[in-house]
Amino acid sequence: MNNPWHLYLMAAIYVFAGIMHFIKPKMYMRIMPKYLPNHKFLVLLSGIAEIVLGFGLLFNQTRDLAVYGVIAMLTVFLLVHFYMLSSEKAGAGIPKTILILRLPLQFVLMAWAYYYL
Protein backbone atom coordinates (compact mmCIF):
# COMPACT_ATOMS: atom_id res chain seq x y z
CA MET A 1 0.00 0.00 0.00
CA ASN A 2 1.67 3.14 -1.24
CA ASN A 3 -0.88 5.72 -0.14
CA PRO A 4 -0.23 9.28 1.03
CA TRP A 5 -0.01 9.78 4.79
CA HIS A 6 -3.16 11.91 4.82
CA LEU A 7 -5.21 9.02 3.45
CA TYR A 8 -4.03 6.88 6.36
CA LEU A 9 -4.96 9.74 8.68
CA MET A 10 -8.46 9.94 7.24
CA ALA A 11 -8.91 6.18 7.48
CA ALA A 12 -7.68 6.18 11.09
CA ILE A 13 -10.09 8.99 12.01
CA TYR A 14 -13.09 7.04 10.70
CA VAL A 15 -11.99 3.75 12.23
CA PHE A 16 -11.40 5.44 15.60
CA ALA A 17 -14.73 7.27 15.42
CA GLY A 18 -16.48 4.01 14.56
CA ILE A 19 -14.88 2.17 17.48
CA MET A 20 -16.02 4.97 19.79
CA HIS A 21 -19.64 4.16 18.86
CA PHE A 22 -19.14 0.83 20.65
CA ILE A 23 -17.13 2.18 23.59
CA LYS A 24 -19.40 5.18 24.32
CA PRO A 25 -22.76 4.41 22.66
CA LYS A 26 -24.74 6.51 25.15
CA MET A 27 -22.83 9.61 24.09
CA TYR A 28 -23.97 9.07 20.51
CA MET A 29 -27.52 8.07 21.40
CA ARG A 30 -27.92 11.33 23.35
CA ILE A 31 -27.39 13.37 20.20
CA MET A 32 -29.65 11.29 17.94
CA PRO A 33 -32.67 13.18 16.58
CA LYS A 34 -35.84 12.12 18.37
CA TYR A 35 -37.62 11.48 15.07
CA LEU A 36 -35.21 8.65 14.16
CA PRO A 37 -36.19 5.20 15.42
CA ASN A 38 -34.10 2.67 17.35
CA HIS A 39 -31.23 4.92 18.41
CA LYS A 40 -28.96 2.17 19.73
CA PHE A 41 -29.19 0.19 16.49
CA LEU A 42 -28.47 3.30 14.41
CA VAL A 43 -25.50 4.25 16.58
CA LEU A 44 -24.00 0.77 16.24
CA LEU A 45 -24.78 0.65 12.52
CA SER A 46 -23.10 3.99 11.95
CA GLY A 47 -20.11 2.77 13.96
CA ILE A 48 -19.81 -0.29 11.75
CA ALA A 49 -20.15 1.91 8.66
CA GLU A 50 -17.36 4.21 9.83
CA ILE A 51 -15.03 1.28 10.55
CA VAL A 52 -15.75 -0.48 7.25
CA LEU A 53 -15.46 2.71 5.21
CA GLY A 54 -12.27 3.70 7.02
CA PHE A 55 -10.62 0.42 6.10
CA GLY A 56 -12.14 0.60 2.62
CA LEU A 57 -10.25 3.84 1.97
CA LEU A 58 -6.94 2.00 2.28
CA PHE A 59 -7.33 -0.36 -0.67
CA ASN A 60 -7.39 0.60 -4.35
CA GLN A 61 -10.14 -1.95 -5.04
CA THR A 62 -12.53 -0.44 -2.50
CA ARG A 63 -11.43 3.19 -2.29
CA ASP A 64 -13.97 4.68 -4.73
CA LEU A 65 -16.88 2.93 -3.05
CA ALA A 66 -15.56 3.94 0.38
CA VAL A 67 -15.21 7.58 -0.72
CA TYR A 68 -18.81 7.68 -1.92
CA GLY A 69 -19.86 5.92 1.28
CA VAL A 70 -18.04 8.47 3.42
CA ILE A 71 -19.66 11.34 1.54
CA ALA A 72 -23.10 9.75 1.91
CA MET A 73 -22.50 9.06 5.59
CA LEU A 74 -21.37 12.64 6.25
CA THR A 75 -24.45 13.90 4.43
CA VAL A 76 -26.70 11.81 6.67
CA PHE A 77 -24.76 12.97 9.74
CA LEU A 78 -25.77 16.52 8.88
CA LEU A 79 -29.17 15.57 10.36
CA VAL A 80 -27.48 15.06 13.72
CA HIS A 81 -25.54 18.32 13.47
CA PHE A 82 -28.67 20.33 12.68
CA TYR A 83 -30.55 18.53 15.45
CA MET A 84 -27.82 19.43 17.93
CA LEU A 85 -28.34 23.08 17.02
CA SER A 86 -32.08 22.81 17.69
CA SER A 87 -31.89 23.00 21.49
CA GLU A 88 -29.46 23.26 24.37
CA LYS A 89 -30.24 19.71 25.50
CA ALA A 90 -29.67 18.29 22.02
CA GLY A 91 -26.40 20.20 21.84
CA ALA A 92 -25.05 18.06 24.71
CA GLY A 93 -23.43 21.06 26.36
CA ILE A 94 -21.26 21.88 23.35
CA PRO A 95 -21.01 25.65 22.77
CA LYS A 96 -23.27 26.89 19.96
CA THR A 97 -20.26 28.37 18.13
CA ILE A 98 -18.61 24.94 17.92
CA LEU A 99 -21.87 23.37 16.73
CA ILE A 100 -22.16 25.97 13.98
CA LEU A 101 -18.53 25.49 12.91
CA ARG A 102 -19.10 21.74 12.63
CA LEU A 103 -21.51 22.27 9.74
CA PRO A 104 -18.94 23.58 7.24
CA LEU A 105 -16.47 21.03 8.61
CA GLN A 106 -18.74 18.29 7.26
CA PHE A 107 -18.32 19.74 3.78
CA VAL A 108 -14.55 20.01 4.23
CA LEU A 109 -14.50 16.33 5.20
CA MET A 110 -16.59 15.49 2.14
CA ALA A 111 -14.17 17.40 -0.11
CA TRP A 112 -11.23 15.66 1.56
CA ALA A 113 -12.77 12.27 0.78
CA TYR A 114 -13.63 13.32 -2.78
CA TYR A 115 -9.96 14.22 -3.33
CA TYR A 116 -9.13 10.49 -3.37
CA LEU A 117 -11.34 9.60 -6.34
Q: Mean pLDDT score of the chain, rounded to an integer?
A: 95
Do 8 and 70 contact (CB within 8 A), yes or no? no
Question: Which residue has better confidence, 88 or 48?
Answer: 48
Q: For the whole model, what pTM was predicted? A: 0.93
How many structural domains does the chain have? 1
Is the distance from CB of 46 to CB of 79 less than 8 angstroms? no
For 69-81, what is each residue's pLDDT tens digit? 999 999 999 999 9
Rounded Cα–Cα distance for residues 11 and 13 (Å): 5
Domain extent for 46: 5-114
